[in-house]
């Protein structure tokens, strides 16, 4: 870290920062106890486009929280979130959206290619965005861009682990409710090994509607519980842990829900540089 003293931190807070602002419309039709991506929610930042082929994400994408890239060795850190409020009680998360793909079809029962590998896609992900070399800082999700049908089915996901071995995750039971915005975590099936990429997804039955879903790789950078609806809350650098934000990080918002919608979410913050 370049900011090594409290004096440098205070100076950066007052003199060298990027202001972030978000104001996202509610996403309805969700389920309590699930994750919802705000990547496609309308508002600020703007509504992102639905991805197609596997790509590495950057801060230039519509939907990302903007900040100013730095000239090394200077870097950036999330130092404050302020006046954050939600119509519902949720946990708000800020993730670096490392990579994405879309175009998977809810009516196909044949193997669907994902071809998202953080070591090779787009020439490979920058090491400072990846975090630990064994990919233990990375979390993959299935993400729904357009709702699929209501027929219950299972998803079989083939992955590549950090040591380049391949494997199949335990079958994922997909409930009848699979709305736009839903994020379903993909968890390693091998103790001590971590997912580096996703090869394919196979559905056990047609959901009845094609919809559109895909796979994303993320790295959690900050989180703020909104314990009460419509209560504005603030977190400082100590509460947030002063997470480092490498150049080109694609900062996205998502929620962990307590009810059937995300609620409108708004607030701001500071990314400091030094």
- Comparing CA positions, the residue from 26, 8, 17 lying closest to residue 229 is 26
Partners of 255 in the β-ladder? 36, 92
Instruction: Note down pLDDT in tens along the chain; length 274 residues.
Output: 578 899 999 899 988 999 999 999 999 999 999 999 999 999 999 999 999 999 999 999 999 999 999 999 999 999 999 999 999 999 999 999 999 999 999 999 999 999 999 999 999 999 999 999 999 999 999 999 999 999 999 999 999 999 999 999 999 999 998 999 999 999 999 999 999 999 999 999 999 999 999 999 999 999 999 989 999 999 999 999 999 999 999 999 999 999 999 999 999 999 999 9
The pLDDT of residue 1 is 54
Tell me the H-state helices in 108-218.
Answer: 127-130
Q: How many domains does the chain have?
A: 1
Range of the domain at 74: 12-273
Which CA distances in Å does 118 have to 98, 103, 163, 230? Answer: 8, 19, 13, 38
**What single DSSP character describes residue 30?**
-
How many residues are there in the chain? 274
> Contacts by 165-174 with C-beta closer than 8 Å and gap 24+?
165/193, 166/199, 171/204, 172/142, 174/203, 174/207
Give the 3-state secondary structure of residue 24.
Answer: strand
- Comparing CA positions, the residue from 210, 235, 212, 237 lying closest to residue 224 is 235
Buried b (16+ CB within 10 A) or exposed e, 15-52: ebbbebebebbbbeebeeebbbbbbbbebebebbebbe
**Does residue 211 contact residue 21 with C-beta atoms inside 8 Å?**
no
Note whether residue 1 is domain-resident.
no
Partners of 198 in the β-ladder? 116, 159
Q: How does DSSP assign 74-93, residue by residue? A: --EEEEEEEEEEESS-EEEE
Note whether residue 7 is domain-resident.
no
The pLDDT of residue 105 is 98
Note whether residue 85 is domain-resident.
yes
Note whether residue 119 is domain-resident.
yes
- Comparing CA positions, the residue from 57, 39, 24 lying closest to residue 181 is 39
Note whether residue 4 is domain-resident.
no
**Does residue 217 contact residue 190 with C-beta atoms inside 8 Å?**
no
Note whether residue 227 is domain-resident.
yes
Note whether residue 233 is domain-resident.
yes
| CA 63 – CA 132 distance, rounded (Å) | 26
> Would you say the pTM of this structure is higher than 0.85?
yes
Note whether residue 2 is domain-resident.
no
| CA 163 – CA 243 distance, rounded (Å) | 27
């Amino acid at each position: 870290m370049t900011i090594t003293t409290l004096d440098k931190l205070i100076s950066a807070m007052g003199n060298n920062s990027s202001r972030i602002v978000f104001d996202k419309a509610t996403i309805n039709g969700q389920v309590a106890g699930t994750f919802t991506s705000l990547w496609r929610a309308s508002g600020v930042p703007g509504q992102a486009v639905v991805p197609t082929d596997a790509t590495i994400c950057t801060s230039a994408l519509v939907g990302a929280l903007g900040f100013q890239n730095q000239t090394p060795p200077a870097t950036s850190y999330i130092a404050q979130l302020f006046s954050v409020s939600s119509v519902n009680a949720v946990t708000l998360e800020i993730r670096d959206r490392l990579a994405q793909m879309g175009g998977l079809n809810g009516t196909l029962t044949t193997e669907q290619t994902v071809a998202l590998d953080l070591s090779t896609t787009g020439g490979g992900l920058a090491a400072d965005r990846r975090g630990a070399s064994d990919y233990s800082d990375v979390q993959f999700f299935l993400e729904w861009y357009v709702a699929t049908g209501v027929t219950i089915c299972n998803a079989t996901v083939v992955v590549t682990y950090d040591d380049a071995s391949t494997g199949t995750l335990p079958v994922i039971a997909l409930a009848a409710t699979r709305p736009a915005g839903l994020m379903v975590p993909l968890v390693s099936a091998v103790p001590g090994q971590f997912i580096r990429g996703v090869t394919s997804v196979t559905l056990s039955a047609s959901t009845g509607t094609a919809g559109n879903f895909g796979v994303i790789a993320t790295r959690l950078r900050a989180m703020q519980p909104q314990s009460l609806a419509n209560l504005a809350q603030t977190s400082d650098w100590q509460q947030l842990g002063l997470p480092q934000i490498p150049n080109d990080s694609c900062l996205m918002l998502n929620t962990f829900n307590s009810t059937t919608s995300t609620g409108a979410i708004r607030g701001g913050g500071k990314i400091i540089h030094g």
